[in-house]
Amino acid sequence: MIIRFGYVAHALSLWDCSPAKSLTYTRWKKLDEHARHDQLLHVTKQNLEHTLRMIHYNIAHEIWVYRLSSSIIPLATHPEVLWDYKTPFKELFSEIGALVKKYKLRVSFHPNQFTLFTSDKKYITENAVLDLSYHYDVLDAMDLADGAIINIHVGGAYGDKQTAIERFHQNIKMLPTPIKNRMTLENDDKTYTTSETLAICRKEQIPLVFDYHHFMANKDEGEKIEVLLPAIFPTWDWVGLKPKIHVSSPKSEKEFRSHADYVDLEFLMPLLKVLKEMNVDVDFMIEAKQKDRAALKLCEDVSKIRGVKRIGGATIQW
């Protein structure tokens, strides 16, 4: 079994390297037309250059799993702003994509919780389509749209979970097929359990990203990972990728759903033991507050288990 460890968006080990520097609509609106365009270009250039720095950092540290920031392009989906960000940065997009492909990094996006398909309000569904289209277009600009994934949650229950699920299946039809083909769903820490999410994934032929921390916070009675994982992993055959698992641990017993700075190995051991028994290669996306530092530390911690060998900067074999 081989496990690769990755992190979310921002390598904290690099100085001033946020890929999510912002330009708010309020600030943009106060500027004249020329200054508006200049600011959009300035902030976007920073975010793309910082993303490129982190790709180089990942390659140097052999971190092969990485989540791109959804905020790379400021105001990309704002109805009053909608602007052409591809043309001025064609070369930067291509450079990032070429590096990702050359070194076979696994990259993804994870839009915010407002990108959902269970609402009874048409504009929310339309905004979800717009947001996923933006993420797809950024991947396409990098020439990565045929291999990366865009992960979202099922959405809200709105007091009637079954009806909300039916709306999901109806509303998802608004999403263009090429974008849906790059989409994954993740089990929630409060609303949709792993079993409920899996049923939706099977019906729509969408891979399921298993979140272990969410599973521990929100389980159906009788749910066991040794039963769930063999059912979840085949959903990845639809996109030809190895399964991905989100990993984090509770900040405290009182704040169980909040993410800690690092991942507690003891909290993770039940999952690791099941994976070892299954003997299947997986990728871990670390969702800890210390990001790249947490991913590298967890890899080091796991490598100390008897029988485990570290075979790269962020990869182990067991």
Domain locations in the chain?
Answer: 2-317
**Residue range 87-103: mean pLDDT, rounded:** 98
Q: Quick: pLDDT tens for 150-165.
A: 999 999 999 999 999 9
**Residue range 18-40: mean pLDDT, rounded:** 93
**Residue range 44-67: mean pLDDT, rounded:** 98
Residue 247 CA neighbour count, 13 Å, CB half: 32
Evaluated on CA atoms 100, 108, 250, 303, the torsion sign reads negative
Q: Quick: pLDDT tens for 264-301.
A: 999 999 999 999 999 999 999 999 999 999 999 999 99
**Residue range 116-127: mean pLDDT, rounded:** 96
Please say whether the beta carbons of 299 and 286 come within 8 A: no
What pLDDT score was predicted for residue 275? 98
What pLDDT score was predicted for residue 211? 98
**Residue range 172-179: mean pLDDT, rounded:** 97
CA distances from residue 232 to 23, 74, 182 in whole angstroms, order as listed: 39, 35, 17
Q: Which CATH superfamily is domain 2-317 in?
A: Divalent-metal-dependent TIM barrel enzymes (3.20.20.150)
Whether residue 305 is predicted with pLDDT greater than 90 in this model: the reply is yes
Please say whether the beta carbons of 9 and 291 come within 8 A: yes
Please say whether the beta carbons of 7 and 67 come within 8 A: yes
Read off the pTM. 0.96
Over the chain, what is the mean pLDDT?
A: 96
First and final CA of the chain: distance in angstroms?
A: 5
Residue 188 tokens read as 């929630």
The closest alpha carbon to 280, from 213, 216, 232, belongs to 232
What pLDDT score was predicted for residue 82? 87
Confidence label for 113 from pLDDT (cuts 50, 70 and 90): confident
